[in-house]
Chains A and B, each alone.
Chain A
Amino acid sequence: MKDTAPANPPIIEAQGLNLTFQTADGPVHALKDVDLTISKGDFVSFIGPSGCGKTTFLRCIAALERPTGGTLSVNGMTADEARKRRAYGYVFQAAGLYPWRTIAGNVKLPLEIMGFTKAEQDTRVRKVLELVELSGFGGKFPWQLSGGMQQRASIARALAFDADILLMDEPFGALDEIVRDRLNEELLKLWARTEKTIAFVTHSIPEAVYLSTKIVVMSPRPGRITDVIDSPLPRERPLDIRDSKDFIDTAHRVREGLRAGHVDD
């Protein structure tokens, strides 16, 4: 299933995407006329206040929500087909590891469901645990690991079946600043090594600017895109890049975009 096309073909395309939830208090416009193209190898962050539809959009890509209007293609298929072809790995805000499985057992879960052979399962588990620097923790149960390690294990679980796309919904939102910084750095290394396309939902401006090649600023009621920023930062990003002028300018533009969204309220 590896794409052989030249560099950076579009992998996720949304056009005029709308999603309205029918609730007891009347319809809620969660997404309004969203147009967005994500190219292969991009690291795209979605940032905005709660209710701006960033998570909803990610769930649409994952076919966990069904848009009520517009078109959305993932890997050239409908989102639902892409889900069935296991086109993406999804990382939730909570690690959500099964307490009755070891770390290795948890990473193995998608592989068991997808019918990999026993030998293949073991090889892949070893490989991805190494990738997230959890080698040697495979036999531990989740409660024996810190929150940050649990979230790394959940990333390993999403990487285990080697999907081209990684969808991450505020994966580090529940972790403290120091752990979050470390995991951000590791995530960038992982992205460089695996050449995945990553869509990443966050609340944090520094996190979005530090990680992304493309930052999508969204605003609520109705949920919509107010700005799309192509990052001027190089792909190679040491932690101290956060003191550079480019970084500060980009963060400033994100902040402006968020503020503009609020004025519209």
Chain B
Amino acid sequence: MTRTLPVLAVLGVITVLWYAASIWMNATWVFDQAGRAGVTVTWAEVVPQTMAQDRPLLPPPHQVASELWKGVAGQNVTSKRSLVYHGFVTFRGTMLGFALGIALGVALAISIVRYRVMELSVMPWAIISQTIPIVALAPMILTLSNQIGIDNREVPKAIIAAYLSFFPVLVSMIKGLRAPDHMQLDLLKTYGASEGQTFAKLRLPASMPYFFASLKVAVAAALIGTIVGELPTGAIEGLGARMLIGSQFGEPLIMWTALFAAAILAGGLILLVGLIERLANARMGAQT
């Protein structure tokens, strides 16, 4: 009870603010219409009309919720109108990019921890890569992969998602693989352990808390990368494509619904990573 109350309070404040903003922003249209018809309207007449417009500037929560419900439950899941379908396309792209990003981040971290020269030669480029805005880079990746004959749209999307998600994994894994102190390394030396054994028995397990912390950032980054990858070049499926269609055809409801679907997907992904982390923690004897 003590924990649900603040959560509900914040949710309530957001909802109230949202309704207020909807009324304020959508009222303009109502006043314009009335002006054109030459009639005057009172606020009591305006408010109901801001709640159910076809193309509201800012749809109120219940409109988004009902659109979401229609998009999820009201369609055949294979339909192009189904949010489940588009959500799944985005989810698939995110997972592919996430996996690619983890593999790249971990591999780079291992080689940087193992070879000092890699830190000097590769690390600056990894940092620079993150300073380039992804919206500038994404169309280039899409065009390039098209040019070299990759027809599968999943590949450039996954590359963009991996491009964003490898970095947090890389930074955390470097720190994690270097976490063991001198004493722990000396101990393995007294056993005559090989470098591979030191890695497998000490460095890798010691890096796991860092790894899981980075996954939560990386999975969110992968989702953003995937959506950005779905935006340009007239992609026809995925939540990013829905957002683009909504904006191009002046359908704010479609946009807002896709936005919320993406937010819900992000929440689900974070929960999923958290669950995997908890399972790993339990296996690795974390204090409960």
* CB closest chain-A residue, reference B281: A100
Beta-carbon contact of A94 and B183 below 8 Å: yes
A64 touches B186 (CB 8 A): yes
Report whether B285 and A113 are in contact in the complex, using a CB–CB cutoff of 8 Å: no
Q: Cβ of A86 and Cβ of B183 under 8 Å apart?
A: no
Query: Is residue A249 contacting chain B, with contact meaning CB distance below 8 A?
Result: no
Check B187 against A113 for contact (C-beta < 8 Å): no
Residues of A within 8 A of B284 (CB): 99-100
CA distance A112 to B191 in the complex (A): 10
Q: Is the CB of A100 within 8 A of B205?
A: yes
Q: When each residue 117-154 of chain A gets 1 if its CB lies under 8 Å from chain B and 0 otherwise, what string results? A: 00000000000000000000000011100000000000
Q: Are A114 and B191 in contact (CB under 8 A)?
A: yes
The answer on a CB contact under 8 Å between A83 and B187 is: no
Q: How far is the CB of B173 from chain A (nearest CB, A)?
A: 16
> Would you give the shortest CB distance from A149 to chain B, in whole angstroms?
15
- Across the interface, which residues of A come within 8 angstroms of B192, CB to CB? 83-84, 86, 113-114
Residues of B234-288 at the interface with A, using a CB-CB cut-off of 8 Å, are 284-287
- Number of inter-chain CB pairs below 8 Å: 51
Contact A98 B205 (CB under 8 A): yes
Q: Is the CB of A92 within 8 A of B187?
A: yes
B191 proximity list for chain A (CB < 8 A):
86, 109-110, 113-114, 161
Q: With A83-B189, A88-B190, A96-B183 in contact, do A113 and B287 touch (Cβ < 8 Å)?
A: no
Determine the chain B residues whose CB is within 8 A of the CB of A86 once the complex forms.
191-192
A101: chain B residues within 8 A (beta carbon): 285
B188 CB contact (under 8 Å) in A88, A99, A113: A113
Q: Nearest CB to that of A110 among chain B residues?
A: B191
* Inter-subunit contact A100/B285 (CB<8 Å): yes
Q: Which residue of A lies closest to B193 (CB)?
A: A113
A62 at the interface (CB under 8 A from B): yes
Q: Does the CB pair B201–A112 fall under 8 Å?
A: yes
Residue B197 at the A interface, CB < 8 A? yes
Q: How far is the CA of A96 from the CA of B286 in the complex (A)?
A: 16
Residue of A101, A102, A161 with most partner-chain B CB within 10 A: A101
B184 interfacial by beta-carbon distance below 8 Å: yes
Which one of B183, B197, B208 contacts A100 once the chains associate, using CB atoms below 8 Å?
A: B208
- A45-102 interface with B by 8 A CB criterion: 62, 64, 83-84, 86, 88-90, 92, 94, 96, 98-102
| Residue count of chain A within 8 Å CB distance of chain B | 25
Q: Using a CB-CB cutoff of 8 Å, which residues 5-60 of chain A contact chain B?
A: none
**Which A residue's beta carbon lies closest to that of B283?**
A100
Are the CB atoms of B187 and A96 closer together than 8 Å? yes
Residues on A with C-beta less than 8 A from B190 are 62, 64, 83, 88-90
Report B180-214 CB contacts with A as 1/0, cut-off 8 Å.
00011011111111000100011001101000000
Nearest CB in chain A: distance from B213 CB, A? 16
Chain B neighbourhood of A90, CB < 8 A: 186-187, 190
Shortest Cβ distance from residue B198 to the other chain A in the assembled complex, whole angstroms: 9
Determine the distance from Cα of A110 to Cα of B198 in the docked complex, in whole angstroms. Answer: 11
Distance (whole angstroms) from the CB of B223 to the closest CB of chain A: 30
Knowing A64-B190, A83-B192, say if A109 contacts B285 (CB, 8 Å): no
Q: Please name the residue on chain B nearest to A90 by beta carbon.
A: B190
Q: Mark B4-35, 1 if CB is under 8 A from A, else 0.
A: 00000000000000000000000000000000
How far, in whole Å, are A259 and B195 apart by their CA atoms in the complex?
45
Task: Name the A residues within 8 Å of B193 (CB-CB).
Answer: 113
Residues of chain B within 8 A (CB-CB) of A92 are: 183, 186-187
By beta carbon, the residue of chain A nearest B194 is: A113
- Which residues of A lie under 8 Å from residue B187 when comparing CB positions? 90, 92, 96
Residues of B within 8 A of A98 (CB): 202, 205
Min CB gap B278→A, angstroms: 15
28 contacts between A and B (CB under 8 A): A62-B190, A64-B189, A64-B190, A83-B190, A84-B192, A86-B192, A88-B190, A90-B186, A92-B183, A92-B186, A92-B187, A94-B183, A96-B183, A96-B184, A98-B202, A100-B205, A100-B284, A101-B285, A109-B191, A109-B201, A112-B201, A113-B188, A113-B192, A113-B197, A114-B191, A142-B285, A143-B287, A161-B191
Name 13 extra pairs, CB < 8 A, besides A100-B284, A113-B192, A142-B285.
A64-B190, A83-B190, A83-B192, A88-B190, A89-B190, A96-B184, A100-B205, A100-B206, A100-B208, A109-B191, A109-B201, A113-B188, A161-B191
